[in-house]
Structure 1
Amino acid sequence: MKKRLDDRLIYEILSAVEEIPRGKVASYGQLARLIGHEKNARLVGKVLSMAEFYGSYPCHRVVNHAGRTAPGWSEQQSLLAAEGVGFKPNGCVDMKHYQWDE
């Protein structure tokens, strides 16, 4: 049986996303660790894919551990660039310089 996401966990994840400063990024795994669910990076991604139903959150500041942006979301890179986030030649965020040090 599939376990339903509860609103408390969803808002915990989205609250963590709200803390990411402008011009910085966090990884899905980093957010999962931050909320005490270190093995649930995919859960973070699932919640972020539904974030629009819960309000306005800076989900564009979340990338994978290598700095790759979300597939199918072409605006993410331009939103990050507008905040001053730099990218490597391969199109990934330069995590050494732009990862949020929570």
Structure 2
Amino acid sequence: MGEQMDRAKQLIDGLTDEGATIIVARSDIGRWLKQGIFERRGKLVADCCRTITVQHRSDVIKLSGLGGHVVIDDSFTNGNIRPEVKALVEREVAVIRAKQPA
């Protein structure tokens, strides 16, 4: 759990003040991260962040039309997510990031 906490702290500390959309593997992890953002960065940053839970291929549609800073949490990357779902999410996030100004 300590390593997971360290990675979460790094993610939270690396967020911009404008927040981000964070892709997670489970909704409870999303709630835990949002609470951590609130505790470490304050209400203003927490209010600018949202989490999206993606577990199945059908969940990838939730990423359509997203903009701004998008982060894939370790819970998704290292979680029990099917490889084809991971690939779809990574592809969608790459498209979102490519649309961002340099």
Q: Please tell me the TM-score bracket, short chain as reference.
A: 0.3 to 0.5
Q: Which has the higher strand share?
A: 2
Q: TM-score, normalising length from structure 1?
A: 0.36
